[in-house]
């Protein structure tokens, strides 16, 4: 644990909070983070850290130590969500209607900038390079791949990321080995029957009935075809059928998502959904088209990196800060970075009932306990500093 890093983060806490609130006031959706990118660049220029703008948004910056060595990457995402903010009393409430930092990415960006400033103060004490990745478009799971395609992970030896987590109380940090976030796939199913008059169902094949039968029965794929010790989630979030109250629907379209932690479960779910859709359709004399798109991979923390992060957490904040949270079936495109280099992903608790910050992510009342920001910023910096000093070549 580096005491100078701790002091620098604390010294810049107010600046970090102000930056986070500014981003919160002016949220930008995926691939629209132009103002956010410009503000990050302004801060990097102030610190004297060389950077490269990515296309169309995002930034990669590098801080080089006293001599060449390993490269450790720190990642923060920057995009907001198409959510209407419901926190009416906040001085920094979103000014952009229908847009909100409802997942904490404003905090992530502010924490990483604060960590960068702390690392500038100790750059003469470590060998190697810290690469700062300010990533757009995480919410639509496109940003990480785009950053990687533009070279963000070239030469990286280890990668580390953080997510503010309202489901954990402030003053806790979790970085377990193994699964942390699930893979997140998208399913679209189109059932085609034969439309007709609502008074003459015998002359038709009702696509609405077919779709309803699929929705009601498909959970058996999870409950009866997957190992109960290997979780899976199959959710139908959208169903569209019919055009008028007295017209039997010819088509019904379902959209849903599949979440799992293991590739074999993911593959089995896809096969079962395709089979089930075809067989349900055949039962009613209809047909089914299934489009299954693989989204983000599961975030699986590499064992050595996660154990290293746990040690950094304990050294920096004490044993009481380390918490073991359960994996979540939410998705995170940080998984793509872990396909490129070993690393891990930590959750920094920000739930505080006294500050009303226990709302679920993506909710209009979501907010962050800003006391958690110093922990996230210091963890970013201490992880990079410790990694480079313990792995000088």
Binding residues for Mn(2+): 103, 105, 139, 163, 362
Is residue 116 within 8 Å of 67, Cβ to Cβ? no
| Cβ atoms 33, 109 nearer than 8 A | no
Edge to edge, the sheet with strand 183-192 lists 232-241, 251-260, 183-192, 287-296
What is the Cα–Cα distance from 220 to 214, expressed in whole angstroms? 10
Residue among 72, 56, 22 nearest 42 (CA): 22
Q: How far apart are CA 295 and CA 354, in angstroms?
A: 37
Report the 10 Å Cβ neighbour count for 38: 12
CA 239 vs CA 82, 196, 215, 283: distances in Å: 21, 20, 9, 20
- How many C-beta neighbours within 10 Å does residue 205 have? 21
Give the span between the Cα atoms of 345 and 137, in whole angstroms: 18
Kindly report the backbone phi and psi dihedral angles of residue 249, in degrees, each rounded to the nearest multiple of 5, phi listed first: -70, 135
Give, in order, the Cα–Cα distances in Å from 289 to each of 242, 270, 274, 350, 386: 17, 13, 8, 43, 52
Token code pair at residue 245: 């109250």
> How many other CB atoms sit within 10 Å of the CB of residue 339?
11
Annotated binding-site positions: 103, 105, 139, 163, 362
Cα three-residue angle 175-179-180, rounded to 5 degrees: 50
- The residues, ordered by sequence, that sit 6+ positions from 245 with a Cβ below 8 Å of its Cβ are 198
Which DSSP letter does residue 359 get? P
- Residue 134 contacts by C-beta under 8 Å, 6 or more apart in sequence? 37, 40, 58, 59, 60, 61, 76, 78, 109, 112
DSSP 90: -
């Amino acid at each position: 644990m580096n005491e100078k890093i701790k002091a620098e983060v604390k010294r810049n806490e107010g600046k970090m909070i102000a930056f986070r609130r500014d981003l919160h006031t002016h949220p930008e959706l995926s691939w629209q983070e132009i103002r956010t990118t410009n503000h990050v660049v302004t801060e990097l220029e102030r610190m004297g850290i060389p950077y490269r703008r990515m296309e169309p948004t995002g930034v990669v910056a590098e801080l080089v130590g006293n001599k060449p060595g390993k490269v450790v990457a720190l990642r923060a995402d920057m995009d907001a969500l198409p959510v209407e903010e419901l926190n009416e009393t906040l001085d920094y409430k979103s000014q952009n209607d229908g847009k909100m930092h409802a997942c904490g990415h404003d905090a992530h960006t502010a924490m990483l900038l604060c960590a960068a400033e702390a690392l500038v103060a100790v750059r003469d004490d470590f060998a190697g390079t810290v690469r700062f990745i300010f990533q757009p478009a995480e919410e639509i799971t496109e940003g990480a791949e785009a950053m990687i395609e533009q070279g963000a992970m070239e030469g990286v030896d280890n990668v580390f990321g953080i997510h503010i987590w309202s489901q954990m109380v402030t003053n806790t940090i979790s970085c377990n080995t193994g699964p942390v976030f699930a893979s997140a796939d998208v399913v679209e199913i189109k059932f085609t029957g034969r439309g007709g008059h609502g008074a003459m169902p015998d002359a038709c094949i009702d696509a609405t009935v077919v779709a309803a039968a699929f929705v009601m029965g498909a959970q058996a794929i999870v409950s009866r075809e997957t190992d109960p010790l290997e979780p899976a989630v199959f959710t139908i979030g959208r169903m569209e059928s019919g055009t008028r109250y007295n017209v039997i629907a010819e088509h019904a379209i379902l959209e849903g998502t599949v979440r799992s932690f293991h590739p074999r479960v993911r593959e089995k779910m896809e096969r079962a959904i395709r089979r089930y859709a075809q067989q349900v359709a055949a039962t009613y004399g209809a047909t089914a088209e299934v489009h299954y798109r693989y989204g983000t991979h599961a975030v699986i923390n590499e064992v050595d990196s996660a154990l290293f992060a746990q040690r950094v957490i304990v050294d920096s904040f004490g044993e009481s800060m380390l918490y073991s949270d359960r994996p979540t079936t939410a998705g995170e495109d940080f998984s793509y970075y872990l396909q490129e280099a070993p690393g891990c992903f930590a959750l920094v608790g920000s739930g505080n009932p006294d500050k009303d910050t226990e709302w679920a992510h993506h909710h209009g009342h979501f907010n962050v306990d800003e006391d958690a920001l110093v922990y996230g910023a210091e963890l970013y910096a201490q992880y990079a500093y410790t990694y480079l000093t313990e792995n000088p070549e």
